[in-house]
A and B are shown apart, each in its own frame.
Chain A
Amino acid sequence: MTLIEKLKNAIIDVQPKKAEETTHELLTQGVGAAEILNQALIPGMDEVGRLFKEGEYYVPEVLVAAKAMNATLSLIEPLLVQGGVPRRGKIVIGTIEGDLHDIGKNLVSMMLKGAGYAIIDLGVDVNANQFVEAIQNEQPDYVAISALLTSTMVNIPHVIQSIRTAGLRNRVRVLVGGAPLTQAYAEEIGADGYAPDASEAVSLVRQMDQARAGT
């Protein structure tokens, strides 16, 4: 087994210590940060996402795998920046105003990070102005919004409206998710996409990337 495979497996087998040690070994051997990201980290987290989707993994497994991913990422991130390796895209994420529920949002952030995206996490209870400001400052490709209850979900259209009013609507794709949301609701409020879970959020963003690259 190559060291790259060893690292990928450490992520899939949810072993943060092993992931960190293997990353050190890889870097000592002169393996590039981009190779570590693209050959070990992203495919490793993809497999974790697949296992979650299939119901083999539960949130604890995903979180420990994300810990392994973060152990690697913290070592290679400065090198990626130094080497000018571009991230796949930038995503601003937050839980909607009035809502402090962060677990779903955190999982989505982790999976997207593991798929190579730069994540700007605005936290919880994020209002329309804060989303708009973040879009202006960070120039993301996507905005992802999470909600726990119907009573907080109804604040999402205000964000979309504010993005439109600020003249930014055609600069970002708005994606939504969370327990009370559905594809139908996403369409009703004019969001660009809905994902029922964290691994679907990754697939959705990838599909949209492809569609954008194709246009």
Chain B
Amino acid sequence: MFRSQNREPDFENLKQVLQKKAPPRAVLFEFLLGENKEKRLTGTEFRSSSEFDRVVTTIKAFDSGGYDFAPIIVRGLVFERKSHFVSHALTKSLNEGSVITDRQSFENYAWPEIENCDFSIISKAASYLHPKAKFIPFSHDGILENVIGIVGYERLCLMLYEDEPLVSAIFFEVGKRIHSYFKACLSYPEVGAVILNDDWGFNTHTLISPKALRKYVFPWYKEIVVMTHDNGKYAILHSCGRYDAIIEDIIGDMRFDARHSYEDGITPVEAAYEALKGRLAVLGGMDVGFMARSGAEEIYERSTRMLRRSAGLGGYALGSGNSIPDYIPDENYLAMLQAAFDWENREGGRDDPN
């Protein structure tokens, strides 16, 4: 257990952040942890031989790391693509999976059905969750990501010009399934919020124009966020890439409670927080490249500075800019956690530690 015994998980802390308020202690947020990081956090309790084992391991890893929640994915809603496995590759191509190339292949595509998902894993796994912690479900890729996955990115770009009705039809089929997925997740009392995970941009632009996003993607998320709020829960957007052209859509139109994913090369989290505080909770933001290449001390200090910046104002949870892949050295990740643990020991985290 990395957290101390008196830092008990309590979703109420994260809830304060999602309400853009100041939590009573430093709150941590992460979307994904690499397998080795989960091993490090769970030690001898690490299990991965079944899906249920993996879910329980994630619950234990997030508990050990001092989080107030555990992310969870319910398997089964997978939009099949062609797989192209290269054993030593660390990345994949967004062009490679393409299976829908025209109307005919669209008609023949075997769409995954929500009935393939066994949502009861949420209540079954809940017995491993700390009594005050909650689940935050996410999906196997978001709406744009899945459409890119089955069409291929470059083909999708051309299709937007060459066969707009087909593009609309594909987004509709994907969108309604992602909507149903979150609808099912939201019916569980163990769920406190949802992560709507969909990369919309890259370092300089959105992946398709804001106009196209507004037409094909955002209406679905708007509905999912309404549904989330109607259930008394919170909607977190995990979306990478440049977002300035769509930030008003995120806040004003789709009405997300929080946004996750920040990169130093786009808008460092410090600047993002200054621009967004009070309107949208800012989660994470310690740039992944920075966490991979800096020393643990630098990470500890930047994390502490970020906690100091947001102390009193609220609406911030400490975490990485994207996730903790295993190429971030363990000690660097642990330095960030330590910054949160140490912060709360300083008069409720409100004083200046230096």
Contact = CB atoms under 8 A, between A and B. Distances in A.
Contacts of A99: 89-91
Contacts, number: 93
Nearest to A124: B93
Given A58-B205, A125-B86, A196-B204, A152 B91 contact: yes
Interface string A196-207: 110000000000
A78 B156 CA distance: 30
Chain B contact surface mostly: loop
Interface string A135-153: 0000000000000111110
A124 B95 CA distance: 12
Interface residues of B, number: 36
B90 A59 contact: no
Interface stretch (A20-28, A35-43, A60-68, A164-172): A60-68
B206 interface: yes
Contacts of A149: 90-91, 325, 327
Nearest to A152: B90
B289 A100 contact: no
A179 B93 CA distance: 14
B90 A60 contact: no
Contact of A148 (B91, B154, B265, B327): B91
B288 A60 contact: no
Chain A contact surface mostly: loop
B202 to A, nearest CB: 6
Interface stretch (A3-11, A79-87, A101-109, A113-121): A101-109
B116 to A, nearest CB: 28
Nearest to B241: A179
Interface stretch (B23-31, B157-165, B215-223): B157-165
22 contacts: A55-B205, A55-B245, A58-B205, A58-B209, A59-B153, A59-B208, A60-B161, A61-B209, A64-B161, A100-B89, A100-B93, A101-B92, A101-B93, A103-B93, A149-B91, A151-B90, A151-B292, A151-B327, A179-B265, A180-B288, A182-B265, A197-B204
Given A52-B205, A64-B157, A197-B204, 17 more contacts: A58-B205, A59-B205, A59-B207, A60-B156, A60-B208, A63-B154, A63-B157, A63-B158, A64-B161, A98-B89, A99-B91, A100-B93, A101-B93, A106-B154, A149-B325, A151-B325, A196-B204
